[in-house]
Structure 1
């Protein structure tokens, strides 16, 4: 009884430390820079989010193909106009091509599953492991019954 109380006392500081770490990391995550501030940084950020329509595995930012240059010019024009947000510019350019040019899936609608499912699977796996380990620990701590002892005795006699 005393050892179980002692083990509970030893566990709570580690949980408190983890909670504090998560809180600090969440605070730091909200204090990050909100994104590009100059027009050139916006153009670079948008062009890094779009795939080259004629190249394999290259972004518009990296590619020097005529298609990518045309897209960069359109991005530059849209940013200079100053009317649309980065997401709206990406959507307009993506919609103007038959192929899907987005390199980063959106965080809304069906595409949100790409972001949510791995996290949900991880949480479910950790929860399942916790349940299984608790069950194993509980089963391992049970004492052998009289029937178990008789079964072991019979097995030893059969072996000899």
Structure 2
């Protein structure tokens, strides 16, 4: 009965810790830092757009003419202040036939790119924790060997010696 009592006391703490950690991660990932200047918005947006000519560079980093043209488009759209950041990224991506966004969107099917690896990791760690706990409880339930267990081992060893 003591193991059942210990099990009931220990798992809610772990669940609470996971819920708190997940909440902090979600709030931290979705929180904005407040109002931005237009230059900050342009920098942030151009860091999320891939250079159409360079391999692995963002428009923010690249200095070629195609990147400068994209950076100017973003600056114009931000200066007009009619579209949100997501709408600007979507417009730029659509105008350039897609495949320019460095960071997948945080909704729909593309959100799975971000969520699935973390979910698999959490499920794997939880599965290992449950397996280790079960093995520990099974081992504790075996107890010390009895005299009958020792006699059985002695008889098996004697049979093994007779066969050789």
TM (normalized to structure 2)?
0.76
Give the aligned partner of residue 156 of structure 1.
157
Matches within 5 A, 1:8-157: 18=17, 22=21, 25=24, 29=28, 33-34=32-33, 37-141=36-140, 142-143=142-143, 144=145, 149=150, 151-157=152-158
Structure 2 unmatched ranges of 5 or more: none
Cα distance, 1:151–1:52 mapped onto 2, change above 3 Å: farther
Distance 1:147 1:43, change over 3 A: farther
**C-alpha deviation, 1:54, in angstroms:** 0.3
SS at match of 2:53: coil
Deviation string, structure 1 residues 1-59 (Cα, Å, up to 9, x no partner): 88x69978x969x8599579749946973895435610000000000000000000000
> Structure 1 residues 154, 35: closer, same or farther in 2, change over 3 A?
farther
Q: Which runs of 4+ in 1 moved over 4 A?
A: 4-8, 14-21, 23-28, 30-33, 144-151
Assess, with a 3 A threshold, how the Cα gap between structure 1 residues 25 and 83 changes in structure 2: closer, same or farther: same
Tell me the number of residue pairs that the alignment of Structure 1 and Structure 2 aligns: 159
Contact 1:47–1:60 (Cα < 8 Å) also in 2: yes
Structure 1: gaps spanning 5 or more residues: none
Q: Find the aligned partners of 2:107 and 2:30 in 1 and give their Cα distance.
A: 23
SS state at 1:100 partner: coil
Structure 1, 134-143 or 19-28: larger mean CA deviation: 19-28
What CA RMSD, in Å, does the superposition of the two structures yield over aligned residues?
3.7
TM-score of the superposition, structure 1-length normalised?
0.77
1:58-116, CA deviations, whole angstroms, 9 ceiling, x for partnerless residues? 00000011110110000000001000001110111111123501111111111011111
